[in-house]
Structure formats: C-alpha cells, structure tokens
Amino acid sequence: MLTSSLAWLDDASLPLLGAVMLTGMVAAAIGGHVFRVNQNRRDEKKAVTHLSEGQEGYIVSAVLALLALLLGFTFSLATDRFDARRILVLQHANAIGTAYLRSQLLGEPHRSRLSHLLIEYTDNLVILAKAPPKQVAPLLANDDRLMTDIWAATAAGFDSIKNIDFSSTFVDSINNLIDMDGARRAARQAHVPTTVFAVLLIYIVVAAGVLGYLLSTPRGRFAAIFLMGLLTLSLLLIIDIDRPTRGTIRESQASMEQLLKSLKSQPISVYDRWRTPSQ
C-alpha cells in the first residue's frame, strides 16, 4: 500500500519534484510563521516567557544538523550505487575484449561469426547506456537476442575445439561476459528505496516549518529561503544520480566506447598477419 502510494516519486520528473518540494517548504514556512505570530499574540495576553534567541539558535542548529546527516546518508547510498555501475562498465568491457581475443583462436566460420556478434553486441550496449527511457525496451530485446546468438555461436565453436584444453577457457570467457551483462542490468535497476526519499522529503518540509516558526527577522527569513533552495537542489541531485536509466547524470561509458572503437578499427585479418605464409 505504502509502496504504491509513493510510486509517483519514481516516475515524476526532476522539475516537477523540485516544484513540489519548493511549494511544500514555502507553505510550511509560511504556516510556521503564521503560527508563531498567533502564538505570540496569545502569549502576550498570558505573559508567557518566549524562547531566547540562543535557545532558538540551538533548535535551528539541531534541525539542520539532522537534515544534513539524512542528506549525507542518502547521498552516500546513491553514489555507492553509481560507483558500482561505473566499475561494472569497465569490467564488462574487459570481459568482452577477452572473449573477442579468444574467439580469434577459433577456426572459420566460427571465428568471423562470433567476432561480428561481439562487435554488434558492444555497439548495442553503448547505445543502450545512453538511450532515453522510451527506447530502452527494444534495445534490451536486441541485447537478449544477441546474447542468445553469441551463446549459439559459442556452442558451435566449442564443438570444433572440445577435444583441446583451450575449450574450457574459451567457454569461461563467454560465461563471464554473460554474467557481466546480468550484473549490469541488476545494477541499473537498483536504487535507493523510495521510502527513504519520501521520509527525507517530509523531514525537509517539517524543517521548513520549524525555520518559519523560529526565524522571525528579515535576515533570518532570507537565509531560510536561500537554505530551502539549496536543500531542493541537493535532494534533486541525489535523485538524479539514483536514476540510472532516466537521470541526466550517468556513469561514463568511455571504456566501452574505446573498446568498440578498437574492435571496429582492427578487423579480424589483423590477427592473421603471422599466420599468412610469405609470398
């Protein structure tokens, strides 16, 4: 029930989330200020002692310190997942490169078939990593097809070398490539639980209400408005990092792009230069 009610947080765009956050914080701050004014009027009639500026300062500091702690914790979770995705790109590229080199030791037609499939597979991965959400589904389907074709080509190539020791090493390299494909998919689907963002959003709105209640001077109100803007930008940055397929901040594909460039610039004939007999 709670998960379904918070689903809009996952689907909402960053501008919409920013507008919702700012609206909520401004409304809470105004509400806190109005409540403070009304309370002061009642307290004046009853001669109630108010909090001193020092006590109000301690409360503001405590609220902001806890908010900073929550933001830091959430930022750490998001960046850990981002780093994991970034490392997997390099590992996946290395796995493809190893499989491609080992496929050069196969005889024809297995060598050419598998080499071309690996290049097409790498090309699809680069496009998939940068694709907008609407284009992800067909690219994933193409990835599944290429995985099936690569394994079918591996099975055919294995039959021609199954009696030599190299066969197990060759199959292991393809298995590692397939495992890395699954690991990257899982990493791109993992993100900070929506409940964490919901709790953080609620706390930010409550904190804005507390600031509106405690900061009554013009300078204090200006500082509160500036702080609310910074908090909004900070949380939006965390959400952006935590969206592997829909955010604007994505892990670098440099290692995969360099591999693709290398594979395309060096045809399989390059590896035959010492095999070709002298004329």
- Asked if residue 37 lies in contact with residue 50, where contact means CB atoms within 8 angstroms, the answer is no
**Range 267-275 contact pairs with CB under 8 angstroms and sequence separation of 24 or more:** 268/104, 268/111, 268/112, 268/115, 271/104
Residue 228 lies in a domain: no
Residue 37 lies in a domain: no
Domain of residue 92, CATH code? 1.10.274
Residue 68 lies in a domain: no
pLDDT (tens digit, 9 = 90+) per residue, 99-150? 999 999 999 999 999 999 999 999 999 999 988 888 899 999 999 999 999 9
pLDDT confidence band for 229 (50 / 70 / 90): confident
Nearest to 149 by CA among 188, 182, 176, 110: 110
pLDDT, averaged across the chain: 84
pLDDT confidence band for 4 (50 / 70 / 90): low
267, two tokens: 């045809």
Residue 157 lies in a domain: yes
Regarding predicted confidence, which is higher, 115 or 52? Answer: 115
Regarding predicted confidence, which is higher, 258 or 29? Answer: 258
pLDDT confidence band for 246 (50 / 70 / 90): confident
Residue 137 lies in a domain: yes
Residue 126 lies in a domain: yes
Backbone angles phi, psi at 159, to 5 degrees: -60, -30
Give the per-residue pLDDT at 11: 72
Name every residue whose Cβ is closer than 8 Å to that of residue 191 and which is 6 or more positions away in sequence.
78, 81, 242, 243, 244
CA distances from 27 to 135, 160, 208, 259, 262 (A): 38, 72, 9, 52, 56
Nearest to 212 by CA among 68, 19, 37, 17: 37
Structural domain span for residue 103: 85-192+251-267
pLDDT (tens digit, 9 = 90+) per residue, 76-101? 888 898 999 999 999 999 999 999 99
pLDDT (tens digit, 9 = 90+) per residue, 196-220? 888 888 888 888 888 877 776 777 7
Separation between Cα atoms, residue 258 and residue 263, nearest integer Å: 9
Nearest to 200 by CA among 43, 16, 25, 19: 25
Residue 25 lies in a domain: no
Number of domains in the chain: 1
Residue 24 lies in a domain: no
| Cβ atoms within 10 Å, residue 70 | 17
CA torsion angle 165 169 170 173 (round to 10): 180
pTM: 0.81
Mean pLDDT along residues 236-260: 88
